[in-house]
Amino acid sequence: MADKPISQKKLLGIAGTGWMFDAMDVGMLSFIITALAAEWTLTPDEMGWIGSVNSIGMAVGALLFGLWADRIGRKNVFIITLVLFSLASGISALTTSLGAFLILRFFIGAGLGGELPVASTLVSESVPAKDRGRVVVLLESFWAFGWLLSAIISYFIIPEYGWRIALVISALPALYAIYLRIKLPDSPAFSPEKVEKRSIMENLREVWSKEHARSTLVLWILWFTVVFSYYGIFLWLPSVMVMKGFSIVKSFEYVLIMTLAQLPGYYSAAWLIEKMGRKFVLVTYLLGTAASALVFGNAETIGVLLGSGILLSFFNLGAWGALYAYSPEQYPTVIRGTGTGMAAAVGRVGGILGPLLVGTMVSAGYSIGVIFTIFCISIIIGVLSVAFLGRETRQVEIV
Contact by Cβ (8 Å): 229, 104: no
pLDDT 10s digits, 172-204: 766 776 676 677 777 776 655 555 567 778 888
The domain in which residue 320 lies consists of: 12-181+211-389
Count of domains observed in the chain: 1
With respect to residue 81, please indicate whether it lies within any of the assigned structural domains.
yes
Confidence at residue 382, expressed as pLDDT on a 0 to 100 scale: 95
Helix pair 302-326, 248-260: axis angle to 10 deg: 50
Instruction: Tell me the mean pLDDT per 10 residues along the chain, length 399.
Output: 65 82 80 85 84 85 87 83 85 90 93 84 81 83 84 83 86 70 71 62 87 94 92 77 71 76 87 90 95 87 85 90 88 87 89 84 86 92 93 72
Taking Cα atoms as reference points, which of 165, 60, 77, 163 lies closest to residue 119?
A: 77
Question: Is 116 within 8 Å of 324 (Cβ atoms)?
Answer: yes
Q: In Å, what is the CA distance from 105 to each residue of 86, 110, 162, 221? A: 11, 9, 18, 26
pLDDT tens track for 295-314: 988 887 778 888 888 998 89
CATH of the domain at 59: 1.20.1250.20
CB-count burial class (<10 Å; 0-12, 13-18, 19+) for 212: middle
Structure confidence at residue 132 (pLDDT): 82
In a domain? residue 352: yes
Whether 398 is in a domain gets the answer no
Q: Quick check: is 199 in a domain?
A: no
Predicted confidence at residue 224, as pLDDT, reads 95
Q: In terms of pTM, does the model score above 0.85?
A: no
Closest CA relative to residue 62, chosen from 289, 181, 266, 227: 227
296 to 99, 201, 370: CA distances (angstroms): 33, 44, 11
pLDDT recorded at residue 360:
86
Is residue 188 in a domain? no
The pLDDT of residue 174: 65
Query: Do the domain assignments include residue 3?
Result: no
| CA dist., res. 28 & res. 237, Å (int) | 12
Other beta carbons less than 10 A from residue 307's beta carbon: 16
Q: Is residue 197 part of a domain?
A: no
Q: Is residue 195 part of a domain?
A: no
